């Protein structure tokens, strides 16, 4: 939203560094919390956005991430072994941002994603799981980073994603479920990576996201009338950015970070957002 200065740079960096888990060599979600691959990716993303990657012990973090890859190719979130394609994406994204993808067994990783592909073109959280928009996004984005979008049946997945739009304009995450603003990010980012954002009605999604705003206190909720929170605000703004909403910065749907930054790092992939509107 062009307001990076709204958060104090030093405070942000200090907080991130205070979440470092010295035993594990990675970041937790909060000071004194255990390291987890999800918060580790967030920490890396924030440090890069604050141009403070020099604070990071890159070799230790890379070791932590690589230690979580399982024989099957998927990653666990931490040492206790919960596995999920979300964690696989966290690993691929983080290694790519750190310029360390060469250390990853790409075939093994892609092999796991392939086994999660369902007949509807989508992907689930693990082998056998039902397709879900969030897991579709992590798998699609991971494949985009690894330059392996050929693993996807573009037409079938594009169809499944386009059918996430409901008459209200909002998007759901699975067939015959309710709409929710969070899917704006997951569905729209996936469509953008497949260059098929025109397959849904952009105006109607935009109107739905805006209708979930809290006009008094700010922020965006899961759906109109509910209490806003920071997650749905992020997902809503991300969706609006991809839809070309005026005044927003371009979002990179693969990394979920500012597009200009990812382009400067030489990591931009062939996704397409809708053109930025001026009014």
Partner 1 sequence: MVEALEAKKLKEHAKLKEYLALTDEVIVKKNGRDWSRDAFDLTTRVLHVNPEFYTVWNYRRHILVHGIFPTRSVLCTPPEINEILTTDLSLTTAHLKQHPKVYWIWNHRRWCLENVPVGPTEDDPDGWRRANWNKELFVVERMLDADARNFHAWNYRRYVLASTPVQRAEQAELTYTTRKIEANFSNFSAWHQRSKVLTSLWDSGKLDIKKSKEDEYELVKNAMYTDPGDQSVWIYHRWLVEPGNDYEILRREITSIQELLDEQPDSKWCMESLVFYHRLQLRNHSSRLTDTDKQGIVQRCLQLLNDLQAVDSPRRQRYIDLSTEVQKLA
Give the Cβ contact number of residue 63 at 10 Å. Answer: 14
Site string for partner 1, 105-134 (x = CB under 8 A): -------------xxx---xxx-xxxxx--
> Please, what is the minimum distance in Å from the beta carbon of residue 117 to partner 1?
13
Residues 6 or more apart from 77 whose CB is under 8 A from it? 36, 37, 38, 68, 83, 84, 87
Q: Which is nearer to partner 1, 78 or 222 (CB)?
A: 78
Q: Which is nearer to partner 1, 154 or 268 (CB)?
A: 154
Out of 59, 175, 247, 270, name the contact with partner 1 by CB under 8 A: 175
Out of 52, 101, 154, 159, name the contact with partner 1 by CB under 8 A: 159
Pairing of strands 257-258, 251-252: antiparallel
Tally the C-alpha atoms within 13 A of residue 9's C-alpha that lie toward its C-beta. 9
Q: Which is nearer to partner 1, 34 or 226 (CB)?
A: 34
150 near partner 1, judged by CB under 8 A: no
DSSP, res 123? B
Separation between Cα atoms, residue 265 and residue 99, nearest integer Å = 9
SS3 letters across 171-195: ECCCCCCCCCCHHHHHHHHHHHHCC
Interface segment toward partner 1; rule CB under 8 A; list 28-36, 59-67, 209-217, 259-267: 28-36
What pairs with residue 177 in β-bridges?
A: none
> Please, what is the minimum distance in Å from the beta carbon of residue 103 to partner 1?
26
Interface segment toward partner 1; rule CB under 8 A; list 7-15, 24-32, 67-75, 215-223: 24-32
Number of residues in contact with partner 1 under rule CB under 8 A? 38
Out of 63, 163, 214, 226, name the contact with partner 1 by CB under 8 A: 163
Q: Which is nearer to partner 1, 114 or 204 (CB)?
A: 204
Separation between Cα atoms, residue 209 and residue 237, nearest integer Å = 8
Out of 108, 204, 268, 269, name the contact with partner 1 by CB under 8 A: 204
- DSSP of 215-239, one letter per residue? TTT--B-SSTTSPPBHHHHHHHHHH
**Cα Dmax for the chain:** 51
Binding residues for partner 1, rule: CB under 8 A, are 28-29, 32-34, 36, 78, 80-82, 118-120, 124-126, 128-132, 158-160, 162-163, 165, 169, 174-177, 196, 198-201, 204
């Amino acid at each position: 939203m062009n307001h990076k200065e709204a958060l104090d740079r030093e405070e942000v960096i200090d907080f991130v560094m205070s979440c470092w888990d010295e035993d594990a060599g990675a970041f937790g979600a909060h000071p004194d919390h255990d390291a987890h691959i999800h918060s580790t990716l967030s920490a890396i993303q924030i440090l890069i956005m604050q141009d403070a990657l020099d604070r990071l012990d890159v070799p230790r973090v890379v070791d932590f991430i690589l230690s979580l890859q399982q024989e099957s190719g998927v990653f666990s979130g931490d040492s206790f072994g919960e596995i999920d394609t979300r964690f696989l994406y966290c690993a691929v994204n983080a290694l790519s941002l750190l310029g360390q993808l060469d250390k990853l067994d790409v075939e093994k990783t892609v092999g796991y994603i392939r086994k999660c592909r369902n007949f509807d073109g989508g992907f689930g959280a693990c082998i056998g799981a039902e397709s879900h928009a969030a897991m579709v996004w992590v798998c699609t984005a991971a494949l985009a980073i690894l330059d392996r979008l050929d693993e996807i049946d573009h037409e079938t997945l594009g169809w499944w994603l386009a059918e996430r739009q409901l008459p209200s304009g909002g998007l759901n995450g699975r067939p015959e479920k309710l709409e929710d603003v969070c899917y704006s990010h997951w569905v729209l980012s996936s469509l953008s990576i497949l260059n098929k954002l025109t397959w849904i009605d952009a105006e109607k999604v935009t109107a739905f996201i805006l209708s979930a705003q809290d006009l008094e206190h700010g922020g965006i909720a899961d759906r109109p009338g509910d209490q806003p929170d920071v997650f749905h605000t992020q997902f809503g703004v991300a969706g609006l950015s991809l839809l070309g909403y005026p005044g927003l910065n371009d979002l990179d749907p693969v990394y979920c970070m500012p597009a200009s930054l990812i382009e400067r790092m030489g990591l931009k992939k062939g996704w397409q957002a809708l053109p930025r509107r001026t009014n």
